[in-house]
């Protein structure tokens, strides 16, 4: 049984316990009244006749609460076992991966070997990036005209862009006159390092993992400025793969009033968003990309991990946006849906998509 179902069942049993306890109190307080047909019918019974029923309901309430507490403890113990697995396996694995990466790149991290990890290796590979010269261009949006806001998880994942326009920005005005902005960011578009005009490339991946300046972040913020987004505006960030890590870093930048964060297949790893806003990270166990971010650190966001249902060894299928769309649809239908972020409708808004390219020296 998946953990979300366990937590949902524990919450439901807790509610049942509360209702049964309220029922028990009502039964215990029944008094015979001559003008009340129900209690008058009980007047011929001895006063203690309701006592077994009261005790029975009380027992059911206690059992429901006890079972709910047990299920909750089970879920939390499972989470603790997962943290122990990270300490015992993922950290040493990351050190080996870091050693392999720096050996192939012929670089040497500044940190001592016993502190090496994925982020230290990425920092050694990309070095200290100079200013990124990026040109951002607004493109025609295939949606055309006003569109309603995506208010469920699958709807948001479905709007993550792909191809030549990796940045999508939607603007809505609520009934109270407040502006809500949704920023959608795509996955890696090119796999080169320092040899491509594409900002959403492997070099940006490494820079984001290392926590240094990335061309894809420069491109995303340039597109936001073109779309009229200002520092302090309320922004919800959504991203897939590199776009997910980029979304998390923008959400945590402090430059915007982040209202939510949703990532799918993102290598968040050692980057730990605070989660001081509704935040959800979804990853597939058979998707290798989330593992490339390194061993996870404690974070305040909700993390859902499940299988993609892709064929065995279909690594591309497990990472595909379409696979995450299907997972998002299952989460929308999950009994634990109330534990995940929700987005309020804000009427119809407008959408812009942007292409971006590096200006090579």
Is residue 185 within 8 A of residue 220, CB to CB? The reply is yes
- Percentage of residues in the chain with pLDDT exceeding 70? 74
| Rounded CA separation 64/71 (Å) | 11
Tell me the pLDDT of the chain averaged across its residues.
Answer: 80
Sign of the CA dihedral running 145, 223, 240, 180: negative
| Rounded CA separation 280/292 (Å) | 19
pLDDT of res. 243: 95
How far are the Cα atoms of 24, 26, 47, 304 from residue 56, in angstroms, in the given order? 9, 13, 16, 39
- Percentage of residues in the chain with pLDDT exceeding 90? 34
Q: Which helix (H) or strand (E) is 13 found in, with range?
A: helix 3-28
pLDDT of res. 106: 56
Q: How many CA atoms lie within 13 A of 238 on its CB side?
A: 28
| Rounded CA separation 323/84 (Å) | 29
Q: Whose structure tokens read 């209690």? A: 39
Question: Is it the case that residue 342 has pLDDT exceeding 90?
Answer: no
Give the residue, 278 or 145, on which the prediction is more confident: 278
Token couple for 353: 């998509």
305 phi, psi to nearest 5 deg = -120, 130
Tell me which range, 9-18, 159-168, 266-275, 337-346, is most confidently predicted by mean pLDDT: 159-168
Tell me which range, 204-213, 242-251, 293-302, is most confidently predicted by mean pLDDT: 242-251
176-188 exposure pattern, b = at least 16 Cβ within 10 A, e = fewer: eeebbbbbbbbbb
pLDDT of res. 351: 92
Confidence of residue 84 (pLDDT cuts 50, 70, 90): low
- For 91-120, the pLDDT digits (tens) are 555 555 555 555 555 555 555 555 555 665
Give the residue, 321 or 131, on which the prediction is more confident: 321
| Rounded CA separation 258/235 (Å) | 5
pLDDT of res. 312: 82
pLDDT of res. 128: 64
Q: Which residues have CB under 8 Å from 167's CB, separation 6+?
A: 136, 161, 183, 184, 185, 186, 219, 220, 223, 353, 354, 356
| Rounded CA separation 235/300 (Å) | 19
- For 11-62, the pLDDT digits (tens) are 777 888 888 888 878 877 776 554 556 555 656 655 556 677 778 888 888 8
Is residue 160 within 8 A of residue 172, CB to CB? The reply is no
pLDDT of res. 162: 84
């Amino acid at each position: 049984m998946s953990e979300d179902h366990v937590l949902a069942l524990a919450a439901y049993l807790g509610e049942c316990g509360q209702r049964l306890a309220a029922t028990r109190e009502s039964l215990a307080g029944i008094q015979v009244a001559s003008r009340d047909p129900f209690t008058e019918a009980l007047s011929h019974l001895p006063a203690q006749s309701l006592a077994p029923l009261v005790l029975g309901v009380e027992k059911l309430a206690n059992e429901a609460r006890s079972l709910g507490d047990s299920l909750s403890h089970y879920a939390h113990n499972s989470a603790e076992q997962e943290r122990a697995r990270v300490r015992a396996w993922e950290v040493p694995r990351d050190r080996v991966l870091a050693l392999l990466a720096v050996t192939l790149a012929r670089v040497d991290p500044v940190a001592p070997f016993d502190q090496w990890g994925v982020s230290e290796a990425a920092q050694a590979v990309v070095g200290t990036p100079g200013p990124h010269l990026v040109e951002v261009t607004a493109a025609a949006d295939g949606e055309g005209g006003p569109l309603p806001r995506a208010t469920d998880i699958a709807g948001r994942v479905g709007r993550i862009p792909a191809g030549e326009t990796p940045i999508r920005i939607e603007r809505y005005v609520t009934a109270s006159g407040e502006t809500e902005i949704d920023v959608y960011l795509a996955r890696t578009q090119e796999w080169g390092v320092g040899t491509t005009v594409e900002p959403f490339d492997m070099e940006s991946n490494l820079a984001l993992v290392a926590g240094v300046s990335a061309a894809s972040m420069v491109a995303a913020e340039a597109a936001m400025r073109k779309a009229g987004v200002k520092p302090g505006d309320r922004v919800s960030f959504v991203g897939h793969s590199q776009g997910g890590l980029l979304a998390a870093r923008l959400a945590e930048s402090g430059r915007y009033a982040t209202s939510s964060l949703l990532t799918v297949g993102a290598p968040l790893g050692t980057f730990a968003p605070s989660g001081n806003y509704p935040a959800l990270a979804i990853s597939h166990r058979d998707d290798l990309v989330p593992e490339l971010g390194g061993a996870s650190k404690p974070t305040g966001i909700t993390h859902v991990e499940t299988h993609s249902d892709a064929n065995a060894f279909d690594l591309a299928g497990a990472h595909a946006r379409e696979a995450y769309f299907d997972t998002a649809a299952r989460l929308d239908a999950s009994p634990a849906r109330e534990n995940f972020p929700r987005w309020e409708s804000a009427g119809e808004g407008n959408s812009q998509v942007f292409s971006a390219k590096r200006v090579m020296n």
